[in-house]
């Protein structure tokens, strides 16, 4: 009896495995029914995600701050003092202020390059188990957003629109392992390919054997035909390490992105680049060091009484 039961469950298992393989094959062959299932899910999920974002955005960082508990004690005392001062000032919504600040930054960037953009709020991000770095925006095709449009934040490139529904869109972030973008070194014409690695740093592969790159060089998006998926001139990152391996055909390196992809709240989708390639106009200015104030004191004898 036990063997018969075991055989039956094995048969069921094998038939379900074959069904799964059949579904995978259909998807890989581009059957639209399966992709529309996912976009249908996105349409259904977007209102819930928007609602959840309203509740969760102030507390969403709680779990990432758990590691700072030890360091927080000294901070608490300092913050308590600051809190007293702040009470006398007008209480403003910090969350809204931060969003306003990012919006100002991204509009400055878009304005400099004369990109036609539409701003969006990040309402969710890709969950664990997907192994893909994505975010969900609260605007979609109703606002003119289409697949393969560039997404930017105040610092520079964020990613590219992967799919849209009427009221939401999914953006593939530039740190996704499948993300590739053609870049050029600002001030030079050397070109390369930037590859997402899943974490904060990116891998850079130069295309020419004669390319000369050095630490600190700024990389800009090379741009694509018809500005899709990438508009030209968007700051991508700064080279942090150059590999000098003997026998290497082309130079390789590591790059730090300009945008912190873990704390995105407001981004802009570039609808079109009105003025074409802005060249190096968007290269971020190097931070100016704060002047050190030196006070010279000449000792003088204390007057006798």
In whole angstroms, how close is the CB of 199 to other proteins at the nearest point? 5
User: Contact letters (x/-) for other proteins, 179-208, by CB under 8 A?
Assistant: -----------------xxxx---------
Strands 134-137 and 115-125: antiparallel
3-class secondary structure for the chain?
Answer: CHHHHHHHHHHHHHHHHHHHHHHHHHHHCCCHHHHHHHHHHHHHHHHHHHHHHHHHCCCCCCHHHHHHCCCHHHHHHHHHHHHHHHHHCCCCCHHHHHHHHHHHHHHHHHHHHCEEEEEEEEEEECCCCCCCCEEEECCCHHHCCCCCCEEECCCCEEEEEEEECCCCEEEEECCCCCCEEEEEECCCCCEEEEECCCCCEEEEEECCCCCCCCCCCEEEECCCHHHCCCCCCCEEEEEEEEECCCCCCCCEEEEEECCCHHHCCEEEEEEEECCCCCCCCCCCCCCCCCCCCCCCCCCCCCCCC
**CB closer to other proteins, 208 vs 262:** 262
Q: Which region, judged by CB under 8 A, interacts with other proteins, from 16-24, 141-149, 151-159, 183-191?
A: 16-24
Q: Which of 102, 117, 119, 124 binds other proteins (CB under 8 A)?
A: 124
Nearest Cα residue to 170 out of 139, 127, 131: 139
In whole angstroms, how close is the CB of 240 to other proteins at the nearest point? 15
**CB closer to other proteins, 61 vs 101:** 61
Q: Which of 72, 95, 178, 256 binds other proteins (CB under 8 A)?
A: 178
19 contacts other proteins (rule: CB under 8 A): yes
Interface residues for other proteins in 233-272 (CB under 8 A)? 262-263
Q: Which region, judged by CB under 8 A, interacts with other proteins, from 11-19, 111-119, 181-189, 286-294?
A: 11-19
Interface residues for other proteins in 64-83 (CB under 8 A)? 64-67
13 contacts other proteins (rule: CB under 8 A): yes
Nearest Cα residue to 167 out of 39, 17, 9, 32: 39
Q: Which region, judged by CB under 8 A, interacts with other proteins, from 20-28, 113-121, 234-242, 266-274?
A: 20-28
49 contacts other proteins (rule: CB under 8 A): yes
96 contacts other proteins (rule: CB under 8 A): no
**CB closer to other proteins, 127 vs 247:** 127
Q: Which of 98, 118, 132, 284 binds other proteins (CB under 8 A)?
A: 132
Which residue ranges make up the site for other proteins (CB under 8 A)? 5-6, 8-9, 12-13, 16-17, 19-24, 26-28, 34-35, 37-39, 41-42, 45, 48-49, 51-53, 56-57, 60-67, 124-132, 134, 136, 163, 170, 172, 176-178, 196-199, 262-263
């Amino acid at each position: 009896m036990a063997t018969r039961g075991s055989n039956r469950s094995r048969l069921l298992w094998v038939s379900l495995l074959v069904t799964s393989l059949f579904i995978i094959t259909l998807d890989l062959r581009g059957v639209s029914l399966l992709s529309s299932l996912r976009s249908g899910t996105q349409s259904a999920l977007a209102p819930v995600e928007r609602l959840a974002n309203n509740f969760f955005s102030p507390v969403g960082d709680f779990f990432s701050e758990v590691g700072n508990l030890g360091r927080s004690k000294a901070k608490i005392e300092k913050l308590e003092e600051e809190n007293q001062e702040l009470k006398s000032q007008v209480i403003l919504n910090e969350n809204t202020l931060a969003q306003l600040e990012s919006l100002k930054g991204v509009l400055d960037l878009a304005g400099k390059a004369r990109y036609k953009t539409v701003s969006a709020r990040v309402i969710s991000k890709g969950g664990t188990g997907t192994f893909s770095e994505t975010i969900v925006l609260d605007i979609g095709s109703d606002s003119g957003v289409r697949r393969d449009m560039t997404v930017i934040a105040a610092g520079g490139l964020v990613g590219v629109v992967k799919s849209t529904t009427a009221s939401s869109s999914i953006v593939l972030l530039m740190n996704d392992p499948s993300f590739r973008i053609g870049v050029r070194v600002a001030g030079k014409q050397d070109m390369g390919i930037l590859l997402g690695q899943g974490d904060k740093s990116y891998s850079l592969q130069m295309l020419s054997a004669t390319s000369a790159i050095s630490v600190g060089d700024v990389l800009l998006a090379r741009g694509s035909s018809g500005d899709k998926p990438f508009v030209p001139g968007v700051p991508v990152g700064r080279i942090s390490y150059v590999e000098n391996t003997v026998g290497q055909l082309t130079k390789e390196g590591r790059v730090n992105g300009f945008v912190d992809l873990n704390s995105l709240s407001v981004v802009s989708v570039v609808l079109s680049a009105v003025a074409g390639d802005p060249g190096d106009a968007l290269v971020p200015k190097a931070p100016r060091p704060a002047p050190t104030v030196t006070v010279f004191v000449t000792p003088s004898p204390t007057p006798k009484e």
